[in-house]
Structure 1
Amino acid sequence: MLEVMDAESVRRWVVVTRAALAARRAEIDALNVFPVPDGDTGTNMYLTLDQALHATRTEQERLGEEGSPRLDAEVAAMSRAALMSARGNSGVILSQLVRGVSDVIAGEHLTVVDAPAVARAIAQGARRARESVVRPQEGTILTVADATAAAAEQAAREGGSLGELTVAAVTAAREALARTPEQLQVLADAGVVDAGGAGYLLFIEALDRVVHDKGPAQHFAVDDFTLNTTLERRADWSHDGGDRAPAVGYDRDGHDGPAYEVMYLLREVPEEGVLVLRRELDGLGDSVVVSGAEDLTHVHVHTDDIGGVLQAGLAHGAPDRVVVTLLDTTPATPQRGVSLVACAAGPGIAEVITQAGAVSVPSGPGHRASAGELVAAVREGGTEEVILLPNDRDTRMAADVAAQAAAQEGRTVHVIGSTTAVQGLAALAVFDPGLTVTQNVLAMTRTAAATRHGGVTVAVKSGLTSGGACEIGDVLGVVAGDITIVGSDMDEVAREVLDTITGTGAELVTVVVGEDAPDGLVERLTARVESQRVEVEVIDGGQPHYPLLFGVE
């Protein structure tokens, strides 16, 4: 059993957590409280951590590190990578848990981590996670993290060993997870525990296994983790996640700009010094990113003036691990004006977004866009100001992270609160290049909020909904994000959804057709709506899981 954790054991903690999420993500996805096929909490957490590990390794290779990096530097790099790799709200919250660990290890310049430090790291992660949510809800991952932190801190105060602390933390996490249905009625109705809390339990169980030195990571079996969901496990609920996304970096295709990429590290730069350095570098090049922990600052800039960039760093310390790379092509300096970025759940939706003059980002259940992918799309727009439409409730937090990251490059990103594809398409339709950015943001926000929306899908598991109990294969009618209709006939359910959201005063109904829509259904619905003297626009969206999406203006 370990008495303290060094860089290798902390690294193993992250790797073992990723392995556990990879093995159990389908089960965590299945904990989604509604029986619709877009619950991907486990997948988002897994992809966030997997791509953060990949990005951290890539960054270390690009910096030309020899041997293993210091613990504090590695954890700080992992924290940054996790934030940029974050997918979905659960991925963003996971990145904040990692950030809490980094706050303690990097912030305190630790080379090893003992029991009190682990307790502080767990507690700081819980605080960071709660701070990231605008309206915290009990009975979620936040509650499980708080209970775990309290148990860890108590064990540390009582002088417990590292092994005793992790056992107490795991016990508290399991008990808190089991209580989540008592705190959140929707979980009790569905007969499940919180999905995010289940993912967090794996995070803590992995820590316990590493501390108790239960063997190399590659020997850890799925059954070694005690997550119990009491759910039927279905292989077809698993998502393979597609190809690995590229490491967090800079898109160099199709742009003209400075000839060199310069990177280096500085140590012990105060926050005011970071702000001064960022301004100085902004005058020497573009794609400026100056970020890091309290004691370690990572500098990145594209420039033609290598000497000037190094001189700027020398004013704050001795640049370390300097890397200069000749760029064939680099991102262009942001130009005046505004561009549009929008997420698309299907190829047809992407085509409409592109025709509207926006940059389209693939994003949907099972593989939602990461913060890094959204930043890359913002860069592709090439302008100082960007309007970003996430078009999905579970991508909003990643969009906000992307906006914060883009601000470091001199770009202002305005995130529209579009939670569905039809709201995003309606907002795009009112964009007017002749108006100011503020006027467009207001108009698009109002339009998105005013667009009544619904959809039709098929249940992938049994459950209790606002429309009553459902079984696998039932047709579900979704109105304003809530399942209010359960039936067996898609025509009938679709008509009921449309009747509910159309109401009086409707002028335009938008129908976005998914890849699984039955033949003839759209024609029958269109004829019915047009008979009520309401205009209908049909878009071949090609989105999976939802045969029909509706928007009413």
Structure 2
Amino acid sequence: MSESTRATGRGAHHPVATLFRVPPILDSALLTGWTRAATQALERHRAEIDRINVFPVPDGDTGTNLLLTMRAATEAVLRVLRDNADGPARGAAVVAGALARGALVGARGNSGVILSQVLRGVADAVAAVVGPTPAGAVLADALGRAHRLATAAVTRPREGTVLSVLGAAARAAAAAGSDRLDDVACAAAEAAAGAVQATTGQLPELARAGVVDAGGLGLYLVLDALAGLVSGRTGTARLPATGAPARQPARGRDVLVAEREGGSPGYDYEVMYLLESPADERMGALRGELDALGDCVSVVGDGDGLWNVHVHCSDVGAAIEAGLAVGRPHRITVIRFADQVRDALTAGAGETGRFVRDRAVLMVVAGAELAELARSAGAAVLERPRDREVEACDLVAALAGTRARHVVLLPGDGELTAVAEQAAAVARREGQEVLVVPTASVLQGLAALAVHDPQRRAGDDVVAMAEAAAGTRTGGLVVAESEALTWVGPCEPGDVLGISDGEVVVIAPDLAVGGLWLAHRMLTAGGELVTVLLGEGADDALADGLAADLRRTHPEVDVVVHRGGQTGFAIVLGVE
């Protein structure tokens, strides 16, 4: 054990003149001071904890998540104290309850969820006190409760994680053999320090990286903050030896293939939401359903019908629907690992890091190629499922996943506009400002995105996007499968139909001729730019030939060609 770790031992916490010192008590002032000291410790060491975060997902945000969760708890206590400045509701039970609920509501990531259960253990233990009870016994009871709650919350607990550190602290507190709060707190902190250093040898992922568990280290700091406060130790705690990662935590798309808890395959999203449900007996079934969808599952409650749900998965809609089956999900947060915004600490304190940027544009598209095209233009993207229609819950999750305070939603389909408005209404109730710009096609969405300027006033920007979308005429080519009578005459199977504004306007013998004829017709009303989206399976030569013909016949028009990968139309044209 390093010298810094020995400094966390019980003897190091006692100042010299302690013979007649009054034993500290677990009252509201101490709880408030502990929260403040723990927050300061996490602020000092956030970057270090983020740096060593390699398990369960190497996304480098455990320190950030712990800090934001503790800040949420602190804000909840301050609100209670402010609202009851002249009232009686300022006792330890009230403050501890506010801490627990604030942490539950503001919990970020797995580490934040576990921290919320530590504070709930404290709240439950304080609330259970009847008559004179030694403060040390209350803390030991609190840590024991916290360990049981946290372990029950995780579907597949493993040794070498924050749960191991919490368990070691709880056992040491129970075995301290003292009723004094300082003795029990110091014993718990010392055991946590040792357990943190042991995690490297307990978990293969940590051993390969040569680091200790990031969540466990954060918990040690929280417990050490209490030990320092009640023992009178001055100065700041030094971290146990943490190690240095053999490689930096994965970034961007590497996160998708990083090892997950239990060696399960990678998932694309982290989904979290609060769930209002009085049905405690159904939470086990919810955990099982979420575990079938992904990993890193935790479902924790406040004992009064409010639950915090966390899962890593790829089917965001299914994760939210599982919550809908047992209660009312709200404050939905979805993070796409590949696009995760790292600097969560720049968010407004009132939202406890829920929003990490001011503005975003969300586009709904069909297919990976269109999704990549939209992302390259700066949009957040929801890919339409191939086997079902887009539902409001899908859009709500995607809106939350932007983590932007103001979002412009581009549905890309006239029939999806009503669903988009429903989702926007839900998001607004959750504090996110969402405006739907009706777009009947992905090309109208791309036109709107092309004029988006985040530096422009939000209202002016939306007007410009709406005007660009409305000024884009779209059409597409399909191959007739049967005889039919159209507005421009009869067609036979194999004929190429040019469709614009929902009507057949051209019948052509092949795709090359049909594309040119349709473009000529759409340009009769004028235009400066023709965008060509090549459908799934269409030959690149088809679009190249069409672009060459248009540049020859309409030299005043710019032509842009992209692979769209759409399945409904062999070619989609947009004229602006």
* TM-score, length basis structure 1: 0.44
Which gives a bigger RCO, structure 1 or 2 (Cα 8 Å, sep 6+)? 1
| Higher gyration radius (CA) | 2
TM-score (norm 2): 0.43
